[in-house]
Structure 1
């Protein structure tokens, strides 16, 4: 088993099961099936190919999207003779093919791992993450059941999450520059990585009040927070101002079925474009809208 705090990168061993290593690969989907059989096609095969190539193994050329290959025959069962006669399959964008060269690369990789060079990868022999991981805690014990949780991992890059009310979140964009004040009162520059789309919920699953979205922030120099695993920080967003603009209460906005917003006037709905949001108000522009026009605001 690894040690808590250890960083595991692509190709590294997460743990051993049945005395064989379980290895970390990078990707966006789990390995849900055995990688076996010439010309097996899929995104999971692409993950294997990309990782082995990055680790320095020669995988040979891959068929291009649009090419046709004949996948491995399924095992026939009684009364199912057609199962052993597979039809050609078209390779789609993002998919890989288990070519003879890739099978050879798998065998070389397995030899380097010290396991039987079968050229196949059973389910459970590889785990997928989006990048390097840090072992947060060990929950299993040597000799224990592999069906129980063995360890917990977190992303290597530390990020800061901030709850922002809807009106404030609407003014925040990915890439915006912010300043983070750390518990020791140091300030470090950072940037917005993502602005969430799902409303923040409390521990019992109820939407928070006021309604909020999660904003994720990453500092420019990770070493500045290397010794911080958790804690409260202050995130300062750069304010913006606008002058000589029309504003309306945020509650006056009406979401349109076709997208966008409108406001309700005495003459009906008027489509509007929104600008800045601040303190419950929103900047709007729309045909026929002028200062003093009465709007309908839900009670």
Structure 2
């Protein structure tokens, strides 16, 4: 065989499959034109000799081929996290009396629905960020609590005759009376301090702290919001990966994947716990900040309420680039790389390539290649 000719490697000489490459290492390597990829870390690469030319070989290809593709490549950093629900709330009973009804753990309570019962009277949920601190009635001074009440009356279908503002008017009192009548309580036009529960949105009961028949006082139950949230403790050194609104791929137990977006990034770093044997600065070196990710689809988590998950943060995005399977690469002794391109006649030529980013089982390449060209891969 001439020195310029390249013979396709025999199938039995193919290296281990890409699955033998640790995922974190395979995805984490960002390689430029001068970067070096260790052959040991890329077990899917099979060796070739340095100094090979691009001259077609005389022998026909004996290995399977795949097409070079043009695509967008996204390099990700995987970080462990926890799937749960947004927010944590404690529902307190105000006033006096006996508890006559309680929900059960897992119940979801929406606007206007009862949270608990006291002395046979239902206490409904209203949405707002300011708890009521006084009885609301006609003639009172203006305030944000009045605004929240009128906003809720409007959402519940009793706002046709009122102006939603901070003023409790006669029209507001009439709307309250209509709401009370439909709930089966006395038409007073007054919303007592202990007659409603105010929370930012719908709640999901997590644990009961009281039982029917007990005095109505203190914490009755704990709850969360209904939005599914993934919480990740991200190393401060990786904080640049977390941008509000950025897309994140969440991998659930069993391998199911769903998409989410970064809702917020914490601003308080927490140092890793240390002890008397820890080195100075060890805690701060491993400090983390919380990152909160909401799922694009509430159904994306299936029936799971809480679970360990993996969040994939995009660390690099290269658009409209050429890519080949990792195991199509041939590593030379001079730390350069090439692929074997097979033409329509079945002959093979070696084409030098430079590597870009890795994503999954593919790697970005540049060189004398075109999309659609056929490159050899070892048999699995």
2:147 counterpart (42, 46, 51): 46
Please state how far the C-alpha of 1:62 moved relative to its aligned partner.
2.7
Question: 2:241 touches 2:313 (CA, 8 Å); kept in 1?
Answer: no
Kept in 2, the 8 Å contact 1:111–1:117? The answer is: yes
> Which residue among 298, 306, 312 is the counterpart of 1:236?
312
Structure 1 position 189 matched with structure 2 position 259: yes
Superposed displacement of residue 123, structure 1 = 1.1
Normalising by structure 2, we get a TM-score of 0.51
Check whether the contact 1:161–1:214 (CA below 8 A) recurs between aligned residues. Answer: yes
The superposition leaves residues 204-230 of structure 1 with CA deviations (integer Å, 9 ceiling, x where unpaired) of xxx876222111001112112141121
Note closer, same or farther for the CA distance 1:225–1:208 as it changes in structure 2 (3 Å cut).
farther
Correspondences of 1:1-299 after superposition (within 5 Å) = 1-58=102-159, 60-62=161-163, 96-200=166-270, 210-240=286-316
Alpha-carbon RMSD across the aligned residues, in angstroms, is 2.3
Deviation of 1:202 (Å)? 7.6
Segments of 5+ residues of structure 1 without an aligned counterpart are: 64-94, 243-299
Aligned CA distance change for structure 1 residues 221 and 17 (closer, same or farther; 3 Å): same
Q: How many residues align?
A: 209
Distance 2:105 2:161 in 1: 38
Q: Secondary structure of 1:10's match?
A: coil
* 8 Å Cα contact 1:199/1:213 also seen in 2: yes
Q: 1:180: Cα distance to partner?
A: 0.5
Partners of 2:241 and 2:315 within 8 A in 1: no
Asked whether the 8 Å contact 1:59–1:102 carries over to 2, the reply is no
Q: Give per-residue Cα distances to partners, 1:169-190, cap 9 Å, x unaligned.
A: 2342111001011111111111
Contact 1:181 1:188 in 2 (8 A): yes
Distance 1:24 1:129 in 2: 7
Contact kept in structure 2, 1:49 and 1:59, CA below 8 Å: no
3-state SS of paired residue (2:315): coil
Listed as ranges, the gaps of 5+ residues in structure 2 are 1-101, 274-282, 319-380
Please list every run of at least 4 consecutive aligned residues from structure 1 whose deviation after the TM superposition is greater than 3 angstroms: 200-203
Rate the CA distance shift 1:21–1:180 in 2: closer, same or farther, 3 A: same
Q: What secondary structure sits across from 2:190 in the alignment?
A: coil
Closer/same/farther in 2, CA of residues 172 and 119 from structure 1, 3 Å limit: same
Q: Is the 8 A contact 1:52 1:59 kept in 2?
A: no
Q: Separation in 2 of the partners of 1:202 and 1:106? A: 52
> Any idea what the Cα deviations from partners look like across 1:233-268, whole Å, max 9, x if unmatched?
1000011279xxxxxxxxxxxxxxxxxxxxxxxxxx
